[in-house]
Structure 1
Amino acid sequence: MKAGIKWGCIVLVAVFAISGISLWSMGPDWRALLADPPTDTNILFWSQSQRDAGFKMMDKISVLVKSKEIQPSSNKRALSLGEPLDFTTNINTFFETQSLAGMLVLHKGNIRFERYGLGHSPDKRWTSFSVAKSFTSSLVGIALKDGDIKSLDDNVSDYIKGLKGSVYDSVTISQLLTMTSGVDWNESYTDPQSDVARFNNHIATDGLPTIVSYMRTLSRAHPAGEQWLYSTGETNLIGILVEAATGQSIAQYLGEKIWQPFGMADQASWLLGPDGKEISGCCIQASLRDFARYGLFVLEDGNINGKSILPDGWFKTATSKQADIGQPGSGYGYQWWTFDDGTFTARGIFGQTIFIDPARQLVIALNGNWLGATDQELNQQRFAFISEIQAMLDQ
């Protein structure tokens, strides 16, 4: 999850005025956002209407928010149309209740359902929030296969030198992936003083990347490996680790290893923090279809041109329960939310989801804008609807 995106819309209005660009020529999303500019620097505390517009253009205000582009493939993976699904649930009501910007159902690689809302469309991008964590996890697996990472049992501080002498000296890459480092972290999305709300505004004075400078100040809450604690900060460390191991930015690495070879059809981007590093726990901007294509990449075990680019059995391990999260039937893998029935999800705040069911060869990608960052009732409703789709496919 990415917090603390400083847009300063009043400044932008002045920039456009000086440039002679009219609000009308800027398109409906720009007009909506600038007509009601956020006054809070933290996107967690924007209004729903501000997010409706902003989530489609997080990477377009290059004056204040930097990003790295990820170029599309020259050999785009086609998605054929399959037989449309006939839902018993009222789909209009479902979209409205869920505040959905888009939903795409792929079954055996074919589109069985695709629909958009909130002004979203196939040619626009939507932000991923923590769905990006699962992408970052795959980059670790690729680096492991390539030999740039020697072992998941290596200490994190062997790769991120700035963590030497901190609590992360005794934390392994595996523990970082499963969020079982035991390092204290506050992921509250409603508390402006939580770690997740503050880390990106941290001023590094030690010459280190912002997230490393912030995380090295944290203290230990539990012995490493004993307790699961959700921490976006730790996924951000994983991105720094991959960059240190491979010598490439993670946006470049994603593009080179997955985006272009697998056939992603649209340009994507990865938002950067103030120090120019990708915020790897959050904020890939991509089309709904390319989010679904990533689900296919996982479903097909990372196979490109008939050969997996990941270690043998990577996804079987990464998407199965490695850590107990205190919820019966559920767990956490390598940056994936897992279920005991073999299904799993990449999940982000405000309703972003990629659901994968290997047994049914099913991928469901959803973009949304819930009223709050998290919502247990909407989440339960969403998975009830997914169960309906699974039942339809079983008939």
Structure 2
Amino acid sequence: MDLQQIDIIRQNMHFAHRFLPTATVHRSGGDVSPIASEPLHLDELAFVDATGRATTLSQALERTHTDAFLVMHRGKIVYEKYYSGMEPTLRHGLASVTKSFIGTLISIELFVGNLGANDRVDRYIPELADSAFGDATIQQLLDMQISCKYPIFFPEANYIDNQRNLLLTAIGTIPAKEGYTGPKTIHEYLASITKSQEHGSAFLYSNGPTEVLGWILGRVNDTSLAELLSQRIWSKLGTEEDAYFVVDSVGTEQACGGLHATLRDVARFAEMMRNDGLFNGYRIVPKAVIGDIQQGGRRDLLAASNRAKARPGYSYRNQWWITHNRFKAYEANGLYGQRIHIAPLAEMVIVQFSSYPGHSDETARLFSHGFEAIANHLN
């Protein structure tokens, strides 16, 4: 692997706030919620990964260029490791793990009745009426059943590559070239996306639906996404540090992948989800919201998609990946190997931060048996 590429990824994951504009997700300012620790020696825990290779946990962490890794069992930290300059107080990029935070916020809005699952996007965002998203429902956005021409970050054709450059310019991660006349913000870019077929007919994972969900959250609540996440979740977890979003030139948060946070604070969020929305004695997320996520979505649509090989048997629901394994685990996954793995029946959560120079499907395959091996060992 190209070590220089890995170093660039790691710098972006660790220090985005130094070179990109951001919006703070404030912690409460109150006491930090304590997490007990009972360390176990899991380095030599053996399993066979999805490629058929025998490995140990420590070898798998090294192979995937992991920056930080934490396992909680029954509310206690049993394994916590930091590598390659990562520290407990350093906020790491979560990439598409961010989507699951957005999905959870939207699910709360559905539960309290501020939104309807079958409501069309153009009811809330008329600016998108003529785009691919205008006639889509909120549930179709949540479940990635939006058929549109939205770029991916690992292009397979020049068309996609050109669209990717437009996207990166719109979100502000690459500068606009002289004479550039394309979209200059996230919202402008969303309005330019066209529809490819009827929504609801296929699972098509992309960043567009989540960006639209973020826009809807801001519009319905008349506040920023960073402030909403702080109010509804982050300030209630007793987090140690503020989190932050990377934002575009007008301050719009990257809902699809712009969140950065510390390892233990993400573990607090995961543990809250494992406990059906309760944490530190407080109800943060309605139990019904988490139950809806856990039931999963249409496995047939995911099985017919290009994500099936890395996630056999999975479904996708409300911006979460559902394993349907014996521990009823569900996950948040992100580019370069970011992961939240929640296994309620194993009473376990795992958080992984990485700088792996490849698609998240690759690290998902490498760890697809590893998380279950840890759960088996702990139980």
Aligned residues of 1:196 and 1:233 also touching (Cα < 8 A): no
- Pick from 166, 175, 182 the counterpart of residue 140 of structure 2: 175
Q: Which residue of 1 is the match for residue 21 of structure 2?
A: 66
Q: Which residue of 1 aligns with 2:321?
A: 337
Q: What TM-score comes out, normalization by structure 2 length?
A: 0.84
Q: Does 1:259 align with 2:215?
A: no
User: Once the two structures are superposed, what CA deviation does each residue of 1:353-380 show, in whole Å capped at 9, x if it has no partner?
Assistant: 000101111110000011223453x432
Q: 1:308 to 1:151 in 2, by over 3 A?
A: farther
2:273 partner SS: helix
Q: Give 2:26's aligned amino acid.
A: Q
Query: Does the residue aligned with 1:102 lie in a helix, a strand or coil?
Result: strand
Q: Is the 8 A contact 1:153 1:174 kept in 2?
A: yes
When residues 188 and 205 of structure 1 are mapped into structure 2, their CA distance, relative to the original with a 3 A threshold, is: closer
| Letter paired with 1:88 | L
Equivalent residue pairs, number: 344
Give, in whole Å, the separation in 2 of the partners of 1:375 and 1:228.
15
Shift of 1:88: 2.6
From 150, 161, 182, the counterpart of 1:193: 161
Query: Residue 52 of structure 2 corresponds to which residue in structure 1?
Result: none
Matched to 2:200, the amino acid is G
For 1:260 and 1:130, how far apart are their aligned partners in 2?
A: 21
Residues 235-384 of structure 1: matches in 2 within 5 Å? 235-303=210-278, 308-311=283-286, 313-323=288-298, 324-326=301-303, 327=308, 328-341=312-325, 342-374=328-360, 376=362, 378-384=363-369
Unmatched 5+ stretches in structure 1 = 1-45
CA separation of 1:177/1:375 partners in 2, compared to 1, >3 Å: closer, same or farther? closer
- Mapped to 2, the partners of 1:277 and 1:311 lie a distance apart of 27
Task: Give SS of 2:115's match.
Answer: coil
Alignment of 1:79-118 (within 5 A): 79-86=35-42, 87-89=44-46, 90-118=56-84
Post-superposition CA distance 1:303-360 (Å, at most 9, x none): 3575644455211222433232123411111111111222111000100000010111
Aligned equivalent of 2:375: 390
Q: Does 1:56 align with 2:42?
A: no
Where does residue 9 of structure 1 map in the other structure?
none
* Residues 297 and 205 of structure 1, relative CA distance in 2, 3 Å threshold: farther
Q: Distance in 1 between matches of 2:166 and 2:269?
A: 30
Deviations 1:147-183 (Å, cap 9, x if unpaired)? Answer: 4x23111111111121123332321111111111222
Shift in alpha-carbon separation, 1:195–1:136, aligned structure 2, 3 A: farther
- Structure 1 residues 196, 331: closer, same or farther in 2, change over 3 A? farther
1:284 shift after superposition? 1.0
Structure 2: tracts of 5 or more residues without a match: 47-55, 171-175
* TM-score (ref. length: structure 1): 0.80
Cα deviation digits, residues 118-139 of structure 1 (max 9, x gap): 1101121110000000001111
Note if contact 1:209-1:277 (Cα within 8 Å) is conserved in structure 2: no
Matched residues in 2 for 1:390 and 1:188: separation?
A: 32
Which stretch has the larger CA shift, 85-94 or 337-346?
85-94
Are residue 132 (structure 1) and residue 98 (structure 2) matched? yes
Residue 190 of structure 1, CA deviation = 3.9
Amino acid at match of 1:362: M
Using the TM superposition, give the Cα deviation of residue 75 of structure 1 relative to its aligned residue in structure 2, in angstroms. 2.8
| CA apart distance, 1:82 | 2.1
Residue among 107, 128, 133 paired with 1:163: 128
Aligned partners of 1:358, 1:330: CA distance in 2, in Å? Answer: 16
Deviation at 1:293, TM superposition (A): 1.0
Counterparts of 2:206 and 2:10, CA distance in 1? 26
Q: Mark the CA change 1:154 to 1:307 in structure 2 (over 3 Å): closer, same or farther.
A: farther
Relative to structure 1, the CA distance from residue 375 to residue 141 in structure 2 (aligned partners, 3 Å threshold; closer, same or farther) is closer
CA RMSD of superposed structures (Å): 2.5
Q: Determine if contact 1:343/1:355 at 8 Å carries over to the other structure.
A: yes
Pairing of 1:216-227 with structure 2 (within 5 A): 216-227=191-202
Distance 2:287 2:126 in 1: 29
Which amino acid in structure 1 is aligned with residue 142 of structure 2?
L
TM-fit CA distance, 1:143: 2.6
Q: Deviations over 1:250-301 (max 9, x none)?
A: 1101111111112112121111012210000012111011111110121122
Task: Evaluate the alpha carbon distance shift between residue 352 and residue 197 of structure 1 in structure 2; reply closer, same or farther with a 3 A threshold.
Answer: farther
Q: 1:91 to 1:141 in 2, by over 3 A?
A: closer
